[in-house]
Amino acid sequence: MRKATFFALIIAALCLNLISCKSKSDESNITTLTTDNFVSQTKQGVVMVDFWATWCMPCKAMAPVIDEIAGQTKGKVKVGKVDIDANGPLANQFAIQGIPAILIFKDGKLMETFVGVQSKAALVNALSKYVELP
């Protein structure tokens, strides 16, 4: 009986984890960035890019913040995500040493870099230097 309860708890935890970690990218203003589309997606306007990985717990903690900012800044700031495991050359190009790493671009030029978990206020404050936000 103990084994059955233990496995039921593990399965429940896994199910909850899958539900809570589900990306809202399809519902929001978040673009998946790759080595193929990075330059074209960041060359115009203000773009906030989240370098992350599926195994990174701090990245998972940042995901809801990134989603909120994407919704709040829709039409003013493009928000993109780069999976560093699938796009190693991009991570190397920007010397990403720790994740999450959040980079802000304006018209293709890197303006600011944040490493580690950041508050929504800190990121919105940084973005507001480059675009007028509501």
Q: Strands of 3-124 (E only): list them.
A: 30-32, 46-52, 77-83, 101-106, 109-115
Assess if residue 132 is contained within a domain.
no
> Residue 28: is its pLDDT beyond 80?
no
Q: What φ, ψ does residue 56 adopt, rounded to 5°?
A: -90, 110
- Find the catalytic residue in 28, 35, 45, 56: 56
Assess if residue 84 is contained within a domain.
yes
Q: Is residue 59 annotated as a catalytic residue, yes or no? A: yes
Q: Is residue 56 annotated as a catalytic residue, yes or no? A: yes
Please give the residue range of the domain that contains residue 115: 24-127
What is the total count of domains within the chain? 1
> Which tens digit of pLDDT belongs to each residue from 8-22?
445 544 444 444 444
Assess if residue 7 is contained within a domain.
no
- Find the catalytic residue in 33, 59, 84, 99: 59
> Residue 53: is its pLDDT beyond 50?
yes
